[in-house]
């Protein structure tokens, strides 16, 4: 697991631009929620950033907790209520070990939302969270139904906090295309507009920034459709399938273990099939990568607003 950098220079800079210190004070109790803190040990990149360094060389380690935090911070810039911010903070609470690998296991390639079925169960079993919500007179149903808040989640090709963060974080760590200056420009150019469907939607005040985000989104989309990514994701799918078939773990436990705990359990099985696949995942060479593709995997289509108009319309 030593191929991921421990320091988070760019991520911490991003946090500072989003006024994290103020947020951490106002939402301190929510940052201690056990089910949320588990996400500190769930990779944002479906665990492939812990795979063979010959295949992937990520710049900084980003967790699902990190993503949840910056999604909430982006939401807070324009939210009209505390519940919207909390919806952003807890929108990925049902992320299992290996994240979208489990969607692939469930053959949900297009939407990659099959794991969200556990959102309600996880939120309702966290007694500490329920106490916090009770104090603030917030109904847990509003966090379960986080998609009601368009600043947090909105259908493609529109832009929301979750989707914008899904460009910035890979741009920092995976593609390494985004500089600190780029991050500053993106955050500074952010605004909220009323879109054609009368929804609040994130957008930009600068055409240059809108184009930069769109280009980076398209590049990241190409990475998620690469042979390298699909090969490594598929290795993890095979590992999960064998572990479940042989009852080394239960499907439900994937939503409560950390990835470190799961890997330790898998290694302790001493199962030759699992150990062989793990060895390939952690140590395979570039030349061993099989050319693989799956046309069913969703495309990260984006058409953001710039000054209230779709960028494709502006550029025409």
- To the nearest whole percent, how much of the chain has pLDDT over 70? 98
User: CA–CA separation, 200 vs 173, rounded Å?
Assistant: 29
pLDDT class for 1, splitting at 50, 70, 90?
A: very low
pTM here is 0.95
Residue 4 lies in a domain: no
The count of structural domains within the chain is 1
4 pLDDT higher than 80: no
| Choice between 306 and 116, residue whose per-residue pLDDT is larger | 306
pLDDT of residue 297: 82
- DSSP-based three-state secondary structure for 202: strand
pLDDT for residue 5 is more than 70: no
Residue 109: what pLDDT? 79
Residue 274 belongs to a domain: no
In a domain, 178, yes or no: yes
Residue-wise pLDDT for 255-273, tens only, equals 999 999 999 999 999 999 9
Q: Is residue 306 part of a domain?
A: yes
Write the pLDDT tens digit of every residue in 37-52: 999 999 999 999 999 9
Domain membership of residue 61 (yes or no) is yes
- Residue 68 and residue 88: Cα distance in Å, rounded? 7
Confidence label for 2 from pLDDT (cuts 50, 70 and 90)? very low
Is residue 83 situated within a structural domain?
Answer: yes
- pLDDT band for 288, please (50, 70, 90 cuts): confident
Top pLDDT among 109 and 50 is at 50
Mean pLDDT within 231-257: 97
Domain limits for position 33: 9-227+296-315
Alpha helices in the chain (DSSP H): 9-17, 20-26, 34-37, 64-76, 82-89, 100-105, 119-125, 127-135, 140-144, 161-173, 180-189, 207-224, 227-245, 259-268, 272-283, 311-315
pLDDT at 3 over 60: no
- State the SS3 of 130-142: HHHHHHCCCCHHH
How many CA within 13 A on the CB side of residue 181?
A: 0
CA–CA separation, 209 vs 177, rounded Å? Answer: 14
Q: For the chain, give the percent of residues with pLDDT over 90.
A: 88
The answer as to whether 58 is a domain residue is yes
Q: Are 71 and 162 in contact (CB under 8 A)?
A: yes
Cα dist. 56→43, 90, 223, 249, 312 in Å?
A: 14, 29, 11, 27, 33
Residue 113 has pLDDT above 90, yes or no: no
Nearest by Cα to 184 from 69, 304, 15, 303: 15
Residues 142-163 pLDDT 10s: 999 999 999 999 999 999 999 9
**Average confidence score pLDDT of the chain:** 94
254: in domain: no
The CATH number covering residue 310 comes to 1.10.3210.10
């Amino acid at each position: 697991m030593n191929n991921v950098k421990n320091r988070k220079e760019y991520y911490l800079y991003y946090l500072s631009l989003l006024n994290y210190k103020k947020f951490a004070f106002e939402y301190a109790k929510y940052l201690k929620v056990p089910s949320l803190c588990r996400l500190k040990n769930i990779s944002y990149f479906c665990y492939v950033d812990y795979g063979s360094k010959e295949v992937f060389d990520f710049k900084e380690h980003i967790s699902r907790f990190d993503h949840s935090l910056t999604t909430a911070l982006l939401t807070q810039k324009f939210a009209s209520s505390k519940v919207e911010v909390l919806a952003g903070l807890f929108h990925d609470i049902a992320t299992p070990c290996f994240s979208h690998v489990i969607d692939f296991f469930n053959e949900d390639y297009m939407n990659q939302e099959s794991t969200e079925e556990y959102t309600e169960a996880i939120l309702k079993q966290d007694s500490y969270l329920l106490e916090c919500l009770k104090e603030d007179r917030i109904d847990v149903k509003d966090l379960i139904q986080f998609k009601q808040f368009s600043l947090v989640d909105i259908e493609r090709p529109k832009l929301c906090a979750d989707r914008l963060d899904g460009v910035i974080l890979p741009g920092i760590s995976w593609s390494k295309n985004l500089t600190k200056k780029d991050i500053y420009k993106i955050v500074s150019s952010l605004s909220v507009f009323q879109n054609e469907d009368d929804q609040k939607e994130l957008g930009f005040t600068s055409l240059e920034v809108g184009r930069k985000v769109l280009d980076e989104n398209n590049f990241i989309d190409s990475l998620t459709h690469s042979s390298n990514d699909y090969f490594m994701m598929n290795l993890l799918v095979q590992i999960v399938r064998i572990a479940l078939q042989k009852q080394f773990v239960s499907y439900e436990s994937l939503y409560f273990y950390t990835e470190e705990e799961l890997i330790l359990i898998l290694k302790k099985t001493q199962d030759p099939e699992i150990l062989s696949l793990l060895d390939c995942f952690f140590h395979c060479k570039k030349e061993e990568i099989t050319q693989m593709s799956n046309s069913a995997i969703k495309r990260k289509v984006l058409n953001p607003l710039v000054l209230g108009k779709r960028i494709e319309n502006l550029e025409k």
